[in-house]
Amino acid sequence: MNALRVLRNNWKKSVFISGLMGYGLSTLKTNIEIKQYMNEFSNDVLHAGHQHGSPQNVLVVMNPIANNKKAENLFKKYCEPVLHLAGYSVEILRTNYIGHAKAYVEEMNKLPDVIVVAGGDGTKSEVITGLLRRQGNLCPISFIPLGRDRQPHSSFFSFSKQHELDYVITLSKSLVPLLKNQSKYESVIQYDVLNNPADENPNQLKPIFGLNGFSWGLLKDIDTRKDKYWYLGPLKHHIAAFLRSFSGTVDWNMDTDYVYTPPCSGCSNCRVQKEKTPNTGFFLTKLVTTQNGNGDSQDSQMHIVNDECATNLQGSIKSNQINITLNQNSQNFAELESKFIDSLQPGWDFIKKIPNITNKSIEPNLILKSRTIKLYPATSNPNIFYSIDGEEYEPRPIKVSIVPNAIKVFC
């Protein structure tokens, strides 16, 4: 009875202490489960041993500020010990500035047996760009999802730490293909800057390569601004969208001309166009025939003439947002999918669509499927930057194309 009386008289302190104890017990339970899982996973790696023919020397490209500066600690705690345990020789490159990984990989005298990318989408794009700008043989790549956007988040008002265990499991499983030497070839997106609409070929700037895609417009601007409201937690994206609705209408609609070619699985027209492109002929001759592993199939396709492949289709649109992604279509070859959104207007209608904006479920007004697409933004457009795999670039006329089976990935 005395205990009940004390609790009743000090109920605020009791609730606070109970919540604190509950959180502490949940943290302790999660830490124990993580330790048990890592012990089991390490034992499996130790007993499996090093796979025959698997790479020995590993270069880890680490972005120390990825995931709010948590990436390096997570890698050293859960990933690096596994690589050492499996018998790999590990070298770590900690990037110091934007473009560091790209320049380092491009200028290396000798590539390692494999490059492990421990960072976000930007680091991944830099490593791929550095590799594909090189001459000679390329090395395979392994990705560890240490970027902020790849980390699972807990639900609203949930004090459970179960998501931390799930994330550790995701990190460890991302190493399994490398440990088992399981790989495949992946196509990538190539971006070339154009001088003006009359140009057929890119200028002398080196191309950029990526996997995740291209984004430009109002929704990407909102997605970038939300980090300013980090202190609002799960509501930061909603607040960024709400405040953006009052920021004026000058930069809501972007006039853009586009020219695209239909999707093609590979033919003589593709071959001719690739050889005519000064910056990409080397890559496409080497990557399509050598790295593909099925050069005979590619050579047979080069004797096929697809008249539609060389057809240039063009148009003009006033859009709020443009997204370009690389997809595998129903005929099992890569194609670009360009989505144009032109349904957002400032005011109450926009505010009502904020849940769809934060969930990224706004339906596009136009979808184009292509092998290549050129974008020519109007010179009067505001300074909303292009986003290529999360990295920002100044808006300029650009050609987006596919490099089929360009890189070997452990996945």
Query: How would you write 164-183 as a 3-class SS string?
Result: HHHHHHHHHHHHHHHHCCCE
Residue numbers of the chain with a pLDDT score lower than 50: 150-162, 272-300
| Amino acid 23: pLDDT | 73
Tens of pLDDT, residue by residue over 287-308, are 333 334 444 444 445 556 666 7
CA gap 213, 267 in Å, rounded? 24
| Amino acid 162: pLDDT | 47
Helix residue ranges per DSSP H, 49-144: 66-69, 71-74, 80-85, 100-107, 121-132
| Amino acid 68: pLDDT | 77
Pairing outcome for strands 141-145 and 398-410:
parallel
Structure tokens at 169: 């499991």
Structure tokens at 342: 């032109």
Task: Return the closest-CA partner of residue 133 out of 207, 215, 59.
Answer: 207
3-state secondary structure labels for all residues of 316-350: EEEECEEEEEEEECCCCCEEEEEEEECCCCCCHHH
Overall pTM > 0.75 = yes
HSE, CB side, 13 Å, CA atoms: give it for residue 150.
23
Q: What is the DSSP letter of 207?
A: P
Chain centroid offset of residue 404 CA: 18
Instruction: Classify residue 42 as exposed, middle or buried by CB count within 10 Å of its CB (0-12, 13-18, 19+).
Output: middle
Domain ranges of the chain: 2-92+110-120+139-181, 186-265+286-293+308-402
H/E stretch holding 29 reads helix 11-48
| Amino acid 197: pLDDT | 54
CA gap 194, 257 in Å, rounded? 13
| Amino acid 212: pLDDT | 87
CA gap 284, 305 in Å, rounded? 18
Task: Return the closest-CA partner of residue 123 out of 187, 56, 72, 50.
Answer: 72
| Amino acid 122: pLDDT | 87
Rounded to the nearest integer, the mean pLDDT of the chain is 80
Helix residue ranges per DSSP H, 277-322: 281-286, 295-301
| Amino acid 33: pLDDT | 87
| Amino acid 116: pLDDT | 94
Query: Are 341 and 216 in contact, with CB atoms under 8 Å apart?
Result: no
Query: Are 115 and 59 in contact, with CB atoms under 8 Å apart?
Result: yes
Close Cβ partners of 176 (under 8 Å, ≥ 6 residues apart)? 182
CATH class entry, domain 186-265+286-293+308-402: mainly beta
CA gap 42, 45 in Å, rounded? 5
Strands (E), 162-264: 183-193, 208-210, 214-217, 254-261
CA gap 368, 306 in Å, rounded? 19
Close Cβ partners of 352 (under 8 Å, ≥ 6 residues apart)? none
**195, 225, 306 from 309: Cα distances, Å:** 23, 39, 5
| Amino acid 337: pLDDT | 95
| Amino acid 53: pLDDT | 57
